[in-house]
Structure 1
Amino acid sequence: MTVEHHDLQHDFPEFHDRIHALKTSNAHFARLFDEYHEVDRQVRRIEQEIETPSDAVTEELKMRRVKLKGELYAMLRA
């Protein structure tokens, strides 16, 4: 099974410098960034079948990842 990487640097290369600036200057962005990457790591482990939680847990994690990405994207565009 091929597992897609959803890290922000990969998904939003045009915001590379802005991501770095916000991570170092905005504590809220940094916290969301870290949370996003932790949730993404958990989803990747599930997709790689390293962990096998219920479908409900998997869907909840995926929805959380989408919500966090949306919040981070909004902050990047602001």
Structure 2
Amino acid sequence: MKCISLFLVLSLVVLMAEPGDAFIHHIFKGIFKVGKAIYGAVRHGRWGEQQQQQQDQRDLQDLQDQQEQEEMEQRFYNRKRAAVN
């Protein structure tokens, strides 16, 4: 009986110490942090895809510019060669 009384008294003392500020607050704070982390991961993933698409477009444009430059050099070489003959 003494043990049960002691347990109940100590439980009451612990619970009177504003449980909302201690236990429940930490649960909600943890849930909020997990939500923010998931949102950040999803957003970062989309941002990464956008960056990759932009990089691919730049690479494609660079390749096209390089091909145009090579064609112009080939034409110039052909004209120069035709003028010599």
* Same fold at TM > 0.5: no
Q: TM-score under structure 2 normalisation?
A: 0.30
Structure (1 or 2) with the larger CA radius of gyration: 2
Structure number with greater CO (CA < 8 Å, separation at least 6) is: 1
Q: TM-score under structure 1 normalisation?
A: 0.32
